[in-house]
Amino acid sequence: MRMRHTAVVLLTVVAACSVQQELASTTTPEVATTETPSTTEPLPSTTLPETTATTERSTTTTTLELLESLAYEKVADLPFPVQLTSVPGSKISYIATRDGRIWLYDGFSISDEPVLDINTQVLDEGERGLLSIALHPTDSGRVFAHYTANNGDTVVSEFALIDDGAADPNSERVLLRLSQPAANHNGGMIQFGPDGILYVGLGDGGGANDRFGNGQNPGTLLGGLVSISVDGDPDPTLFNSGLRNPWRFWIDDHVIYIADVGQDAYEEVSVVDLAPDINFGWPITEGLHCFRPSSGCDTTGLTLPLVEVSHGDAGTCSITGGVVYRGEAIPELYGTYFYSDYCGGYLRSFHFDGDGITDETDWTEQVGVPGQVVGFGVDGEGEMYVVTTNSLLKLVAVRG
């Protein structure tokens, strides 16, 4: 397949977006208006999630020069990219754009033509479109896509990869098709766990204030993390519940980091063992707070986030969950989880030690604000990418 060369440009100073900007009509992780204030004292920290283990930091010795700072390298300008993904060890990555196309990236250039084009069957507007892709962890001939059908339904499908990494659009096998009651809160992310199960993040159905009552409804897949056995009985199952709009999550070995978009007061990141029957609290809670404080809330049995970011903090409005860095180019960051925000565009991180978080860091002064951040990605060597509404950036080290 013919590839187009894409120049790599080091971004040194990037203008910060206005804290007061409104989300455009093309926003992916939407922030809905609410009539219910969420301002009360934080809930007790005793309801923090339990975990059993974590992956150790790298102890590999290195002869690299001293890390002075981090920076972004621009890989390409693209029409609303949402994700980059790859199988570990592979030299080839795939980039999804919201318009229903998947592109091949070899680490240097991006294919002139998409390797999969389902644009005509994807509703590309607002929070809808091609939202995420995943590659089968052991079968290089299969790619999976989470997209919005033309009638608004959420669809998760499998496609066969054929010659030169291209996918056959006629090979589609639908694994999940779900009616959506509103245009927002479609969730988005799909990713395979270490158990070979495909996990899907779904929002609460949209609107505001959990309008459709799905957040605590065990009879629906909406508002939950859904599991699909792609190699067995593909019947989708509600795995975890109590989520508002988990636009992006990340599975690192047996630990999952779920960034859940809040209502109008708090964004959150939960970190737990990848285990069933966890209730993350929405709409009983928003972040570490009662969502409807005037009526009180019983947090018994709920798992609260480890990180809460309030609206107004550096322009925060809609959290964009990231990835855990496991690359070799920046060993100082091994095991670090990064995240951002659609409006704030910052880059922040923390390290999870199995009990809680440490080393909370804000890297924004070093890397700048590249625009409206909608996603992250990891290539086959574990190196990290950041995705804005119009570009793909690689995180690199500045050494001296």
Q: Residue ranges of the alpha helices (H) in the chain?
A: 364-367
Q: State whether residue 305 is helix, strand or coil.
A: coil
Domain presence at residue 27: no
Question: pLDDT tens digits, the chain, 400 residues: what are they?
Answer: 545 444 333 333 333 333 333 333 334 444 333 334 444 455 554 344 444 444 454 445 558 999 999 999 999 999 999 999 998 899 899 999 999 999 999 999 999 999 999 999 999 999 999 999 999 999 989 999 999 999 999 999 999 998 778 999 999 999 999 999 999 999 999 999 999 999 999 999 999 999 999 999 999 999 999 999 999 888 999 999 999 999 999 999 999 999 999 999 999 999 999 999 999 999 999 999 999 988 789 999 999 999 999 998 999 999 999 999 999 999 999 999 999 999 999 999 999 999 999 999 999 999 999 999 999 999 999 999 999 999 999 999 999 8
Name residues whose C-beta falls within 8 Å of residue 294's C-beta, 6 or more positions apart in sequence: none
Degrees (nearest 5) of the Cα angle 8, 13, 16?
A: 115
Domain presence at residue 80: yes
Dihedrals φ, ψ of 126, to 5°? 55, -125
Give the CATH number for residue 261. Answer: 2.120.10.30
Q: Which residues pair with 349 in a beta bridge?
A: 338, 361
pLDDT tens track for 303-334? 999 999 999 899 999 999 999 999 999 999 99
Domain presence at residue 22: no
Domain presence at residue 259: yes
Domain presence at residue 69: yes
Number of domains present in the structure of the chain: 1
Domain presence at residue 18: no
Joined together, the tokens standing for residue 17 give 């977006």
Domain presence at residue 17: no
Distance (Å, whole) CA 284 – CA 265: 14
Report in angstroms the alpha-carbon separations of 178 from 242, 247, 384: 18, 17, 32
Name residues whose C-beta falls within 8 Å of residue 27's C-beta, 6 or more positions apart in sequence: 126, 127, 318, 342, 372
Q: Among 298, 261, 267, which residue's Cα sits nearest to residue 281? A: 298
Domain presence at residue 20: no
Q: State whether residue 10 is helix, strand or coil.
A: strand
